[in-house]
Amino acid sequence: MMMRCKSSGNHLWVQLRFFCNKSSYPLHICIVGSGPAGFYTADKLMKRFGQAKVNMLERLPTPFGLVRSGVAPDHPETKVVVNQFSRVAASDRFSLIGNVSLGKDVSVEDLRKLYHVVVFAYGAESDRELGIKGEDLKGVHSAREFVWWYNGHPDGLKLTLDLERTDTAVILGQGNVALDAARILLRPTEDLMQTDIAEHALAALRRSQVRKVFLVGRRGPVQAACTAKELREILGIKGLNVFVQEADLVTSPADMEEMKLNRSHKRVYELFTKAAMKSLSESVGNEKELHFVFFRAPSAILPCDDKVHVGGVSLEKTTLQGQIINGQQLAVGTGVFEELACGLVLKSIGYKSKLVAGLPFDLKKGVIPNFQGRVLNDEAQNSKYEKGLYVVGWLKRGPTGIIGTNMICAEEVVESIAQDLEQGLLTSFLDVPGYFGLLELLQDKAIQFLSFDDWQKINQEEIRRGELKGKIREKIVRTEEQLEVARKVRV
């Protein structure tokens, strides 16, 4: 690649230098967010660009995003991926900058001045709204917050959850998050005693009066968003009766078509069929019940007599339209309603990303508008893309997929960055302050950040505290305490 260069004296030398397809300075990259999307991107960027330096911003003192605060405590094998992420973090070209928040402590503009490339990987920390009456009643919570609560996320402490005033919970949604929530509510607490579940959650679950959980979906068993592993697991829990109505298992030609195209849905449907047969023959000895309710859309959340707390959910029966649009059949209301009494409602209809000043945002889809990870400009601008800005993970694709999906997503974004460098749409001809510039900025604002080594101190302390209780770790939940532990021994 040839470039015209201003400095005439070194003109020939600079020309020759630019002749090879490399940027002149090592890339300084900032990734915002330390979950799987961020770490897979860091890993692949450092492999692709041998000199690149990666800084990773994380607003919490602890890294790993939903691997730490989303994956259920009884799924420890899913968390093993932090080993790989820790190896990435151990690279001397990588620095974690924890306890620093985009928007609050640094702005998008700050980052653009400090780095050649900024990749936004901060996921989805909000919820899709139902948009129905009664959503603000006491006892109605988002499943996301419930998950944060039992996983010891600092923001989960805000949740005022009462598991003692009712024996029935309704969960709206039938994805894996909904199943996680149901399972944690219904699982014998002995099963959770050795896990990394937050102490306050374990205590509350021990006192919980919840015995019956309804998982409500607008569509049928063929369309259920959960996956075979999770469904198989919940069907196998000792002491739990699972109910699936045979009538809900009737399939249409469109359903058969959907199952032909998607083997996950086919295998999930087969598990529901097995569950229906089992619930017919199962003894009624078991104390706890899980009911899968299909073809019901929530139309309103109803108060109980005190008008403050939730008392039930009004559900409208639905049917499926039958044509497949974008690979999906749509549920349509039939005008027939029924009520389901309950004292706790968890909304599990999808996460949603938050917008940040300085970045375009698609309010409808809840993502940063992008093409293969390149952040798109507002239409008013001259150029199609925001130079140097990229997005990966849920913030790019929407809140779907598993941890491994981010691996593929990261590859796509890294490919885009590489292409842009090659075509000169992205350059590193000018050196940028990078890490030291960010340090200076943080020092000026008196913001103390945590490194990956600081996280290791928190990590070791959690494991140590866990050992005293026979748990694999005892999570430190409050941010202040995490910072205290990290600061105790400064190497």
Partner 1 sequence: MTSKPLLHNDLVSCNKTHTASSSKLLDGDYRRACGRLYQSQVGISGVEVFTKSGSSDNSRGFLSQSKLGRERFNELTFPMSSSFVRRERSNLTCLYAAHLGQRRTFAFEQSSNTISDKETNEKETITVTFVDKDGDEKIIKVPIGMSMLEAAHKNDVELEGACEGSLACSTCHVIVMDDDYYEKLPEPIDEENDMLDLAFGLTETSRLGCQVIAKPELDGIRLALPAATRNFAVDGHVPKPH
Least distance to partner 1, CB of residue 223, Å: 10
Quick check: 261 and 327 in contact, CB under 8 A? yes
According to the binding rule CB under 8 A, does residue 408 interact with partner 1? yes
Region binding partner 1 by CB under 8 A among candidate stretches 211-219, 296-304, 306-314, 406-414: 406-414
Q: Which of residues 432-491 bind partner 1 (CB under 8 A)?
A: 459, 463, 466, 470, 472-473
What backbone torsions phi and psi does residue 98 show, to the nearest 5 degrees? Answer: -90, 160
What the block records as the tokens of 315 is 């559900």
Residue whose token pair is 């943080």: 442
Least distance to partner 1, CB of residue 420, Å: 16
The site map against partner 1 for 297-336 (x = CB under 8 A) is -----------------------------xxx--------
According to the binding rule CB under 8 A, does residue 136 interact with partner 1? no
Nearer Cβ to partner 1 (78/126): 78
Nearer Cβ to partner 1 (14/244): 244
According to the binding rule CB under 8 A, does residue 133 interact with partner 1? no
One residue of 190, 306, 379, 444 binding partner 1 per CB under 8 A: 190
Least distance to partner 1, CB of residue 8, Å: 42
Region binding partner 1 by CB under 8 A among candidate stretches 15-23, 227-235, 418-426, 439-447: 227-235
List residues bridging with 389 in a β-sheet. 118
Q: Which of 407, 462, 406 is nearest to 61 (CA)?
A: 462
The span from the CA of 155 to the CA of 478, in Å, is 9
For 197-287, list the strands marked E by DSSP: 212-216, 240-244
Nearer Cβ to partner 1 (105/233): 233
What the block records as the tokens of 39 is 């770490």
Rounded to the nearest 5 degrees, what angle is found at the Cα of 60, between the Cα atoms of 55 and 62? 80
What H or E segment, with its residue span, contains residue 390? strand 385-391
Burial class (CB in 10 A: 0-12, 13-18, 19+), 309: middle
One residue of 48, 229, 309, 387 binding partner 1 per CB under 8 A: 229
According to the binding rule CB under 8 A, does residue 159 interact with partner 1? no
Nearer Cβ to partner 1 (1/261): 261
Q: Mapping DSSP to helix (H, G, I), strand (E, B) and coil, where does residue 21 land?
A: coil
Nearer Cβ to partner 1 (31/407): 407
What the block records as the tokens of 34 is 């330390």
Least distance to partner 1, CB of residue 16, Å: 29
How would you classify the pairing of strands 126-127 and 351-352? antiparallel
Least distance to partner 1, CB of residue 344, Å: 23
Q: Which of 393, 301, 397, 286 is nearest to 345 (CA)?
A: 301
C-alpha separations of 444 from 88, 96, 99, 447 in Å: 29, 19, 16, 8
According to the binding rule CB under 8 A, does residue 263 interact with partner 1? yes
The span from the CA of 329 to the CA of 219, in Å, is 9
Region binding partner 1 by CB under 8 A among candidate stretches 51-59, 80-88, 159-167, 339-347: 80-88
One residue of 79, 144, 374, 457 binding partner 1 per CB under 8 A: 79
Least distance to partner 1, CB of residue 379, Å: 16
Least distance to partner 1, CB of residue 19, Å: 25
According to the binding rule CB under 8 A, does residue 101 interact with partner 1? no
Region binding partner 1 by CB under 8 A among candidate stretches 102-110, 232-240, 338-346, 426-434: 232-240
Q: Mapping DSSP to helix (H, G, I), strand (E, B) and coil, where does residue 214 land?
A: strand
Q: Mapping DSSP to helix (H, G, I), strand (E, B) and coil, where does residue 140 land?
A: strand
- Sign for the CA dihedral angle at 282, 283, 285, 291 comes to positive
For 92-152, list the strands marked E by DSSP: 94-98, 117-120, 126-127, 140-142
According to the binding rule CB under 8 A, does residue 411 interact with partner 1? yes
According to the binding rule CB under 8 A, does residue 417 interact with partner 1? no
List residues bridging with 385 in a β-sheet. 376
Which residues form the interface with partner 1 (CB under 8 A)?
Answer: 74-84, 86, 175-177, 187-188, 190-192, 194, 196, 225-229, 232-233, 236-238, 263-264, 267, 326-328, 362, 365, 367, 372, 396-405, 407-409, 411-412, 459, 463, 466, 470, 472-473
